[in-house]
Amino acid sequence: MGTTDKIYFYPLWLRIWHGFNALGIIILILTGISMQSSIETPIIGFNLAVNLHNIAGVIVLLSYIFFFAGNLWTGNGKFYRIKKKGFFRNLVKQATYYAWGMFHGESYPFPLSEKRKFNPLQKYSYVLVMYFAVPVVIVTGIALLFPEIIIDKAWGISGVFMTAILHSAMGFLISLFLIIHLYIASVGKSPLENYKSIFTGWHHI
């Protein structure tokens, strides 16, 4: 599986998914900002932004199906299982390390191993994004692409409006996650060490 100082965390299928998913998400964010921009000269022209947004949405949908199936058929899915025991305690412990301990030379509270790919904070945020936010973005995105399937009104509010708000809110959550994800990935032996892992498959302990 690995050597004494590194573990093969990222098999080829996962790296391929990660690349397509990252590309799709980044395009969705940029085109989404452009479509909602009130500036006269948005980042991308409106019509082009809509077309690119729809194409990127299809990419993310297909890559998500690939990701979901991969986690079902391989051992990678076990890293996303959440245990009730120590849920909040471990979450606080990891958050405290990021906020304080990391800058004061404290030891890593949850060392990675072949059985532990993510620390508690990573696991919970990944599960929230990959098993809640992304599916909601996909479903609402499909609904907005075919608005005739959306209910006319709910509680006196336009169904299309509520769907658009939910779609944008989940998009914002994913955008925020991406920024934090990129920052946390730079924390390690060197700022680029973890980024190399997603290309080689090997994570250095």
**What's the CA gap between 118 and 73, in Å, rounded?**
19
The domain total for the chain is: 1
**Amino acid 35: pLDDT:** 86
Which band of pLDDT confidence, cut at 50, 70 and 90, is reported for residue 47?
A: confident
Please say whether the dihedral angle defined by the alpha carbons of residues 127, 172, 157 and 145, taken in this order, is positive or negative: negative
**Amino acid 43: pLDDT:** 63
Angstrom distances, CA of residue 128 to CA of 46, 119, 121, 170: 31, 14, 11, 11
Question: Each residue of 68-86: pLDDT tens digit?
Answer: 999 999 989 999 999 888 8
Tell me the residue range of the domain where 121 lies: 6-204
With beta carbons less than 8 A apart as the criterion, state whether 24 and 56 touch: yes
**Amino acid 160: pLDDT:** 93
With beta carbons less than 8 A apart as the criterion, state whether 106 and 97 touch: yes
37 domain-assigned: yes
**Amino acid 38: pLDDT:** 59
With beta carbons less than 8 A apart as the criterion, state whether 184 and 122 touch: yes
Which tokens belong to 118?
A: 């993510």
**Amino acid 3: pLDDT:** 46
pLDDT at position 185 over 90: no
20 domain-assigned: yes
With beta carbons less than 8 A apart as the criterion, state whether 114 and 1 touch: yes
1 domain-assigned: no
With beta carbons less than 8 A apart as the criterion, state whether 28 and 60 touch: yes
Which residues is 203 bridged to in the sheet?
7
Domain of residue 187, CATH code? 1.20.950.20
Q: Which helix (H) or strand (E) holds 157?
A: strand 157-158
36 domain-assigned: yes
